[in-house]
A and B are shown apart, each in its own frame.
Chain A
Amino acid sequence: MEILRVEGLSKIYGKGETAVKALDNVSFTVNKGEFIAVVGPSGSGKSTLLHILGGVDTPTSGKVYVEDTDVYSLDETKLAIFRRRQIGLIYQFYNLIPVLTVKENIMLPLLLDGRKADKGHFKDIVNKLGLSDRLDYLPNQLSGGQQQRVSIGRALITNPALMLADEPTGNLDSKNSSEIISLLKMFNKTLNQTLIVITHDERIALQADRILTIEDGRITKDEVIRR
């Protein structure tokens, strides 16, 4: 089942002679449950692509459909709500709220929606992430790997249609990196969670089901590794 469709996506920064084409007519589709790695040299447009998929940056032209919703036809308010409910984002530097506890950080997307988490679902996620005994800690009392696990929890709590990760291990040592990737992969398999990960690391890319290579804003390779 198709969960994401990108059609002729372009993003141009600047105007006239100084214009930079970050994305140039990018099109692809993603099925539910796929684990996709996006690789490419720095400045190739990977992060721009991820930001546009996540609804945090607007494209110059082209369309993004998440579960058949034309994301950029929504107005500002609706887009924010859409993002909150359908997209889970994981960043390189975690972006946790420093004054909120682990528990509050994970619940944040639901709190914004005025909802309470289902206790079973919350407990399940926290156990899998190995955070059950850290719920009342603040982010600065945790190691980098633990903080990234919190941000995975925050991305998962809403059962998003799409989980996007931008260099999720870029700031971690190799042991923590492989833990984070293993967790992402486990959620991908057990919850059939669709996952798109941007990475520099070839070892991480090889864990994915499919690798998209981006160079100069274009997709130059689309390889299926396993299914």
Chain B
Amino acid sequence: MMRNKEIRIYFISIFLILLVGNVAVFLLNKTAGMIFLIAFLLTVVISIIFTLWRYRQIALLSQYLQRIAGGEYSVDIRDNAEGELSILKNEIYKVTVTLNEQANLLKKDKIFLANAISDISHQLKTPVTSMYVMVDLLNNEDLPDEKRNEFLRNIRSQLERLQWLVTSLLKLSKIDAGAVEFKKDRIKIRELIDKSLEHLLIPMEIKNQTLEILGDGNTELIGDFNWTCEAVSNIIKNCIEHTQNGGKIGIEFSETSLYTIINIYDNGEGISKKDLPYIFNRFYKAANSHKDSIGIGLAMSKSIIESQGGTIDVKSEVGEGTVFSLKFYKGVL
């Protein structure tokens, strides 16, 4: 205790003040001086005991923190009493719980990363192998021109897919690493949707699907235009792929004082109850996935939206259709 500087100063000053007082009282009256002396000694003893007790508590807390630093998260020091010390214990406990949780998340992340790498390798390997085969075949000089063109087209489409995969993975890893600065602009939803639809109108026309857009043209959200576009267009793309020819795709948006909501819906094949909890997981492929599907589009949408403090939700009925609800909160930014 005495190694703490403030305590040394405290005791020395108390001692000096009381000593001077005591001498003064002694000079005035001897009995009063004796009483004062006893009171003086008692005060010193009591303050030593209290200070010792308090330092003991602090020492206990620091021992406890050492145990946490050693990875032992299960010790509970909360005593549910009134007062600052108890509040401190409580706050330390809350920080411990958060740390523990983060440690668990890290562990999970490691496993996830290992799985993801094996998934990615697989995704890369399949087209590469098939391209090898086709290149070997192209080497054959007797190959008819017709076949040659077919192989070339095939190789080109495989390369496009590879390129898309690699670009998407790069974007995802950037978001994951927090390396993306999401802008906080006011975005007109209508403009956002028009931009998101840019590359999708043709596939929609090929499938002869109708598109409806409902909402007030002045509705806005606060976020990053390009990234949010990417998120929205991945979802619409998913809707187009899983809706039959002649089906309907719809986008509806509105704004409340707390958030802006965009609903993207279709009357397509729907998502089964079994798949529904996992569709935003990276590399997850539902039973009815497109054969070229990688399982990265929806995962990316979710990452983009959640990185901007928004939420994404899905409701689906097999055979009836699917609704994706995107919410962007105002107070978050």
Contact = CB atoms under 8 A, between A and B. Distances in A.
Given A81-B80, A113-B87, A185-B311, A175 B256 contact: yes
B315 A206 contact: yes
Interface residues of A, number: 38
A15 interface: no
B41 interface: no
Contacts of A192: 101
B104 interface: yes
Contact of B331 (A81, A129, A175): A129
Interface string B93-133: 11001001100100000000000000000000000000000
B277 A225 contact: yes
Contacts of A33: 101
B20 interface: no
B82 A226 contact: no
A190 interface: yes
B160 interface: no
Contact of B81 (A32, A78, A127, A186): A78
A227 B275 CA distance: 11
Interface stretch (A4-12, A17-25, A66-74, A212-220): A66-74
A80 to B, nearest CB: 9
Contact of A182 (B94, B97, B259): B259
B94 A159 contact: yes
A173 B147 CA distance: 66
B33 interface: no
Interface in B252-304: 256-259, 276-277
B315 to A, nearest CB: 7
Q: How large is the interface on B (under 10, 10 to 19, 20 to 34, 35 or more residues)?
A: 20 to 34
A213 B109 CA distance: 32
Interface in B70-104: 74, 76, 78-84, 86-87, 90, 93-94, 97, 100-101, 104
A50 to B, nearest CB: 21
B82 A81 contact: yes
B238 to A, nearest CB: 17
Contacts of B313: 207
A72 B104 CA distance: 29
A127 B331 contact: yes
A189 B302 CA distance: 12
Contact of B257 (A1, A130, A185, A225): A130
A225 B271 CA distance: 13
B80 A128 contact: no
Given A130-B330, A183-B258, A68 B76 contact: yes
Contact of B329 (A78, A159, A186): A186
A190 B277 contact: no
B185 interface: no
A63 interface: no
A186 B257 contact: no
Given A1-B100, A68-B74, A225-B277, A130 B331 contact: yes
B327 interface: yes
Contact of A67 (B76, B84, B276): B76
Contacts of B150: none
B194 interface: no
A128 B78 contact: no
B332 interface: yes
A69 B311 contact: no
A175 B261 CA distance: 12
A175 B278 CA distance: 29
A79 B81 CA distance: 9
Nearest to B74: A68
Interface of A: 1, 32-33, 67-69, 74, 78-79, 81-82, 85, 113-115, 126-130, 132, 159, 161, 175, 179, 182-183, 185-186, 189-190, 192, 206-207, 224-227
Interface of B: 74, 76, 78-84, 86-87, 90, 93-94, 97, 100-101, 104, 256-259, 276-277, 306, 309, 311, 313, 315, 327, 329-332
27 contacts: A1-B97, A1-B104, A67-B97, A69-B78, A85-B80, A85-B90, A113-B82, A114-B84, A114-B87, A126-B331, A128-B329, A129-B258, A130-B330, A161-B97, A179-B256, A179-B259, A182-B259, A185-B311, A186-B309, A186-B327, A186-B329, A189-B306, A190-B309, A190-B332, A192-B101, A207-B313, A225-B277
Given A1-B100, A81-B82, A115-B87, 10 more contacts: A67-B97, A68-B74, A68-B76, A81-B86, A113-B82, A114-B87, A182-B258, A182-B259, A186-B327, A186-B329
